[in-house]
Amino acid sequence: QVQLVESGGGLAQAGGSLRLSCAASISSLSISSMAWYRRVPGKQRELVASITSGDNTNYADSVKGRFTISKDNAKSTAYLQMNSLQPEDTGVYYCNLQRRGPDGLAGYWGQGTQVTVSS
């Protein structure tokens, strides 16, 4: 079983920054990709950013130019640097990991971390 430990959420003012971390309990060699999703009040969970083992990244249009996803393979940890935060970024942010296995990919979720941006 894979465990994902998220940290770094909290309260920020509009225009401010936060950095989220997601530490996985498995070797990075087994990780196909990691991603951050968020659930904004009144909306479905949406993809914010993802990064593959080959360092290919993908971002939601709403965060391009403001958020940066990165990873540290030695620590099996993914990060989400969030700059120029806006009140619309408020929500619960979830880490997702896709693990390579003998039967293909298996997905795992973190417990979620709250991000609140005040205007």
Residue with tokens 């973190």: 110
Torsion of CA 28, 30, 33, 37, to 10 degrees: -80
What band does 78 get if pLDDT is binned at 50, 70 and 90?
very high
Tell how strand 10-13 and strand 113-118 pair up: parallel
Q: What's the mean pLDDT when you consider all of the chain? A: 96
Q: Which residues partner with 57 through β-bridges?
A: 51
Contacts (Cβ under 8 Å, ≥6 apart) of 61: none
| Structure confidence by residue, pLDDT tens digits, 21-69 | 999 999 999 999 999 999 998 899 999 999 999 999 999 999 999 999 9
